[in-house]
Structure 1
Amino acid sequence: MYGRNELIARYIKLRTGKTRTRKQVSSHIQVLARRKAREIQAKLKFWQGALPGQPGPSHDVKPFSQNTYAVQPPLPLPGFESPVGPTPSPSAPPAPPWQGRSIASSKLWMLEFSAFLERQQDPDTYSKHLFVHISQSNPSYSDPYLETVDIRQIYDKFPEKKGGLKELFERGPSNAFFLVKFWVSPSFPSFSTSRW
């Protein structure tokens, strides 16, 4: 089992060929965290100074809410064409990284993916937390692919008693599955307070 910093060091080695120790990775992460904290402080100063006519900092303004990607209704897909929608306004949040790119291979095209956690609160009520939702607003065959990953780079991340990912890849047709990776904080309130 690898720790986070070992995995990051391994990723750096695969991508750049440069070797980094876990301590070097840890130090660099701390530097990045300090830089991010300074950027946030600078933005807070901007937001506090940008509210004219108010006596002090506004407590109801939340400038750093995470971008959420709303669940979009299913698209009509007769030939994967969709009508051209309105152009986004300059103040609209930036598009997610997968928009305008295909998550696809020559045999399979992913149009929508969701990962969520659901639990029953009482006999008639369920609580659902959506971690990630990926969907294409205007899918097109001409969109460039998002990213291609060599299966040999990730074999060992999915060990199983019988074969695992390597066996699945070798047994099935090539270009016939996707890997969707996302991060979930283990401090998510429901993980520590409830049984799932």
Structure 2
Amino acid sequence: MTSGAGEGSEDGSEKNVKQENVDSANLSTEDGNGMDDDGVWSSDIEVAFKEAMEIYPPCGRRKIILPDEGKMYGRNEMIARYIYIKTGKKRTRKQVSSHIQVLARRTDREKGPTTGTTGNSALGDVAAGNRRPQKVDILRLVHPSTYRLKGDDSKDLRMCEYEIFATQSSIGSVSDDGSDTQVLKHVFISIPEAAVAPSAVEDLSIGTILPDFENSKDGETSLAHLYEKSNHKDNFFLLKFWADADFHLDQTMDQKYELNARFQLDQNRPLEVTTQVYSFSKEAMRKEQNPQCFEENGRTYFELNWEFCEYGKGFIERLLLLSPNKDKMNVVLQHFAMLTYVKDSTTGEILIVLAQMFEVSRTEGHGQNVYHLIQTSP
């Protein structure tokens, strides 16, 4: 994906963010010893703060993943990191939070009870979450533009393709030759086969996402439980998607929402594939399949091809009704996740586990990143 030309990108800030080794623990401390008082921030700090406010808009409780470190941070911590990288001056997340609140109150006073916004209120609007930042590509500091698959150490099964898409067609109409009318397709998220390459992905501590996959209905298929009992811990991944939500929902047409995925196996074997949908960290629904393996060009594959049920279809369409407000759409998506795992139905062996989390892309098209989930020391 192409990065936007944001105000903070011309001086190489993206490069600095990824190369500097910032001690985020120091930036997140509760006290502000040795730091300026919040009310007397110098002009260079204020400039860096404004840039960071646009790069990192309000994101609710969802954390921001830094691929370099395999860790997740809150918005205020990321703003503090940015200020330190740009100016060399430290601010704690509490100081950042206080400064945001001060600006929001100042904006309220400027607006007054009956007047509109003033020319100086733009930053306050961003601070209060009332206005989506313009001209800054939020994705450029959050995820890379290419998909990289883990290396050759997981030989039993690997993912080749993954796609969620919508189709629209005229209700009940057929073309002159008796075939169905042309079907319009919109791809929300996709990992194309051409993008799959045997190179290393970023590692991410599995503990950072366990709360989003905590409560399964049977108590035995939460992400934590699957990881604990699996002998294939190298085959646990997080698929983070930035969806293309620029889709016009035509109420005069028939809509279908589908998922297609393809996997390559080491051998033909009986399979059981389970997909669990999580809402507010609790399992909301479950779908189980027993796909058949097939041979193609001397290799063994299986595919998942299924249409979303009424629950999934209703969720997508209610989400699309929030468009074009992508901030609101992302607030909804921060409470939504999917978990797919593949087992050998004869032995019960877990072959691969895919945790899936979603946001709406703020730029044209869709994007994705893949993280290898690992267990780190507490």
TM-score bracket for the superposition, by shorter chain length: 0.3 to 0.5
Higher relative contact order (CA 8 A, sep 6+): 2
Name the structure where strand makes up a greater proportion of residues: 2
Greater Rg, structure 1 or structure 2? 2
Q: TM-score, normalised by structure 2?
A: 0.27
